[in-house]
């Protein structure tokens, strides 16, 4: 026990050390630029503000498709536009492009007016070629440019940053002379695509936890997971189709579909394990069935603990993993011994353990872990 506590202690120390190092490197870079620390971006990234030519420009690092160093300025201009250097994913999904840059926008008329403005085109070219930025974003009333970095913001020279600051100031001025876009749905898109599914998932998982889902362990956990994907996939397809229609835009469908499938893949996994397991057992009125099986093999793993495989169960149900048992029960039985357990059919048709493994003679109970 002391050995595992020691490992956990050193693991926590390692995490703290890396977080401190992460913060210090970025704070030192902000200090080198002359920025004043004003807070954090996404909890762990220090954020600074530079007073440049009478304008306050935010400087911070973030994580989106890899780590980035960002310069952000507020404007009196409203719109939505993303321009970034293309990657393999963009090429595979045939992402909409503008001058070899992956592009996303909502208002076509506004986009054409913006990209036909000669001064904006010149500034954009200078930002890409002279300042070597990888991304330009207009979101509502903010303009953000950034560089992709691997680990440290020091990968971008201070000369490049100062050059980008001048160009960013000029670009913000040009935008202030143009009419704003009439359409902006990025906040709503993020709400419907990320925040709402995650919130519903947390609520469903909380219901399962409060209802003690662990009392209704499926015989094969993968069965409840596959059932969840089978159950929810049609609704996910309809929902993503609705999002493409309601909050989609030029070059945005790839992001909606790609991010949407990823979000729902993760959400359905947790909903299945916590919520569907609870529903499957809690509302099951079928009678229990006693099953008798022979121990096919047994083994111990540092990561997974004490495990048993059963002849009939693991032959009939290929998706079933070996069963986790307590140390005491593990040493009570031998390969070839017969054990018993009770199951129910399940409200959703997923068989679950009504009573865990026990020896037929003394009926020593063991809850499946």
- How far apart, in whole angstroms, are the C-alpha atoms of residue 86 and residue 96? 10
Dump pLDDT digits (tens) for 113-140: 999 999 999 999 999 999 999 999 999 8
For the chain, give every domain's residue range: 2-176, 186-281, 289-358
Selected residue with higher pLDDT from 315 and 215: 215
pLDDT band for position 90 (cuts 50, 70, 90): confident
> What Å distances lie between residue 236 and 20, 107, 218, 232, CA to CA?
40, 26, 24, 6
Dump pLDDT digits (tens) for 181-212: 888 999 999 999 999 999 999 999 999 999 99
* Predicted local confidence at residue 368, as pLDDT: 41
Q: What is the 3-state secondary structure (H, E, C) of the chain?
A: CHHHHHHHHHHHHHHHHHHHHHHHHHHHHHHHHCCEEEEEECCCEEEEEEEECCEEEEEEEEECCCEEEEEEEEEEEEEEEEEEECCHHHHHCCCCEECCEEEEECCHHHHHHHHCCHHHHHHHHHHHHCCCCCEEEEEEEEEEEEEEECCCHHHCCHHHHHHHHHHHHHHHHHHHCCCCCCCCCHHHHHHHHHHHHHHHHHHHHHHHHHCCHHHHCECCHHHHHHHHHHHHHHHHHHHHHHHHHHHCCECCHHHHHHHHHHHHHHHHHHHHHHHHHHHHHHCCCCCCEEEEEEEEEEEEECCCEEEEEEHHHHHHCCCCCCEEECHHHHHHCCCCCEEEEEEECCCCCCCEEEEEEECCCCCCCCCCC
Label residue 94 left, alpha or beta by phi (over 0 means left) and psi (-120 to 50 means alpha).
left
* Predicted local confidence at residue 1, as pLDDT: 55
Q: Please list the residues that pair with 293 across neighbouring strands.
A: 339
Dump pLDDT digits (tens) for 133-168: 999 999 989 999 999 998 889 999 999 999 999 999
- Percentage of the chain modeled with pLDDT above 90: 53
* CB neighbour class for 178 (10 Å; exposed up to 12, middle 13-18, buried from 19): middle
31-35, 48-52, 332-336: segment of lowest average pLDDT: 332-336
User: In what side-by-side order are the strands of the sheet with 338-344?
Assistant: 323-325, 305-310, 289-301, 338-344, 352-358
pLDDT band for position 246 (cuts 50, 70, 90): very high
Interval 227-248 mean pLDDT? 94
| Gyration radius of the chain over CA positions | 28
Inform me whether the pLDDT recorded for 66 exceeds 80.
no
**CB of 58 closer than 8 Å to CB of 37:** no
Dump pLDDT digits (tens) for 296-350: 888 888 888 888 888 888 888 877 888 888 888 888 888 888 888 888 999 999 9
**CB of 281 closer than 8 Å to CB of 352:** yes
Q: Please, what sign has the CA dihedral across residues 126, 130, 135, 137?
A: negative
* Predicted local confidence at residue 53, as pLDDT: 82
Inform me whether the pLDDT recorded for 366 exceeds 80.
no
Dump pLDDT digits (tens) for 263-280: 999 999 999 999 999 999
* Entry pTM: 0.82
* Predicted local confidence at residue 364, as pLDDT: 44
* Predicted local confidence at residue 367, as pLDDT: 41
């Amino acid at each position: 026990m002391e050995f595992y506590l020691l490992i956990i202690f050193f693991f926590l120390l390692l995490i703290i050390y890396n977080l401190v190092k992460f913060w210090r490197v970025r704070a030192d870079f902000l200090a080198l630029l002359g920025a004043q620390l004003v807070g954090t971006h996404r909890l762990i990234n220090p954020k600074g503000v530079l007073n440049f030519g009478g304008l306050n420009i935010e400087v911070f690092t973030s994580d989106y498709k890899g780590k980035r160093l960002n310069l952000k300025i507020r404007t009196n201009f409203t719109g939505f536009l993303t321009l970034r250097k293309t990657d393999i994913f963009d090429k595979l999904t045939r992402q909409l492009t503008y001058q070899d840059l992956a592009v996303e926008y909502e208002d076509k008329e506004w986009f054409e007016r913006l990209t036909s403005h000669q001064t904006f085109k010149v500034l954009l070219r200078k930002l890409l070629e002279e300042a070597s930025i990888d991304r330009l974003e207009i979101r509502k009333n903010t303009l953000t440019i950034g560089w992709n970095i691997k680990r440290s913001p020091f990968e971008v020279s201070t000369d490049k940053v100062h050059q980008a600051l001048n160009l960013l100031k000029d670009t913000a001025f040009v935008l202030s002379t143009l009419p704003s876009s009439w359409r902006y749905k990025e906040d709503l898109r993020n709400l419907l695509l990320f925040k709402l599914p995650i919130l519903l998932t947390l609520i469903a998982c909380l219901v399962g936890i409060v209802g003690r889902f662990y009392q209704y362990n499926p015989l094969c956990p993968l069965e409840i997971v596959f059932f969840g994907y089978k159950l929810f996939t049609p609704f996910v397809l309809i929902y993503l189709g609705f999002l493409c229609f309601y909050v989609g835009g030029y070059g945005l469908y790839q992001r909606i579909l790609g991010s949407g499938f990823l979000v729902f893949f993760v959400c359905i996994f947790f909903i299945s394990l916590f919520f569907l397991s609870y529903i499957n057992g809690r509302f099951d009125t079928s009678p229990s069935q006693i099953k008798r099986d022979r121990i096919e093999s047994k083994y111990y793993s540092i990561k997974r603990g004490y495990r048993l495989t059963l002849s009939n169960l693991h032959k009939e149900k290929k998706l079933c993993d070996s069963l986790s048992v307590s140390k005491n029960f593990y040493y009570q039985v031998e390969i070839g011994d017969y054990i018993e357990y009770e199951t129910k059919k399940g409200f959703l048709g997923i068989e679950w353990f009504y009573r865990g493994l026990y020896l037929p003679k003394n009926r020593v109970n063991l809850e499946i872990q």
